[in-house]
Chains A and B, each alone.
Chain A
């Protein structure tokens, strides 16, 4: 079946602009996660949704970052006033229930470059 998809695959934007990154989870998965990965580092947790609500947003670096999942399926990560330090691979994952022992399925990521 279809896996997690993310669009766009690449995004280049100028410093100060607003960007939206989209994640389509596996159908029926209630939990959705966003991560950010810089070159040579492991993925860094940003936010976790259980259904429509953000169950844990402790990884969002500052108030320029915001994510929504209005219908409990597709999620959008929004970054305002982008900075060059925001350049990274943004990964999305979903899991069936988000409960203990549930594995996460990752998408291919969106590579964001802020010039």
Chain B
């Protein structure tokens, strides 16, 4: 499974868009990009996934570059409840978590 690189931490002002980057330069042709998040003391929560095209759902948008070597998760209007560790994962059936990005939404 391909590895990902994410910044260890980020801050975002409440109400602003949070843009979380992820590099996955060794991704192979049919590996998906998944994003999960984990709020303190809870199990991880699925956010969104994509293969080649940009995706949007009620939680977030996922922008994947044309060469698929990087992606950005966008939370359009961050709230305090979005403070969590965000994991970017690429792979097939099993999900291999890295250390993720700890996002702090600041009032």
Binding site for B on A (CB under 8 A): 4, 31, 33, 35, 41-45, 48, 55-56, 59, 91, 93, 98-109
Residue of A nearest to B32 (CB): A101
User: Is B46's CB under 8 angstroms from A109's CB?
Assistant: no
Known contacts A100-B30, A100-B92, A101-B32, A44 near B97 by CB under 8 Å = yes
A45 interface neighbour in B36, B43, B95, B100, Cβ under 8 Å: B95
Q: Complex Cα distance A101/B45, Å?
A: 15
User: Is B49's CB under 8 angstroms from A101's CB?
Assistant: yes
CB distance from B20 to the nearest CB of A (A): 15
User: Is B100's CB under 8 angstroms from A108's CB?
Assistant: no
Contacts of B87 in A (CB 8 A): 42
Q: Complex Cα distance A93/B42, Å?
A: 13
User: Is B46's CB under 8 angstroms from A42's CB?
Assistant: no
Contacts of A4 in B (CB 8 A): 43
User: Is B93's CB under 8 angstroms from A48's CB?
Assistant: yes
30 A-B Cβ contacts within 8 A? A4-B43, A33-B95, A35-B97, A42-B85, A42-B87, A42-B98, A42-B99, A42-B100, A43-B97, A45-B94, A45-B97, A56-B94, A91-B44, A93-B43, A98-B93, A100-B30, A100-B32, A100-B93, A101-B32, A101-B51, A103-B34, A103-B46, A104-B36, A104-B44, A104-B46, A104-B95, A105-B46, A106-B43, A106-B45, A108-B43
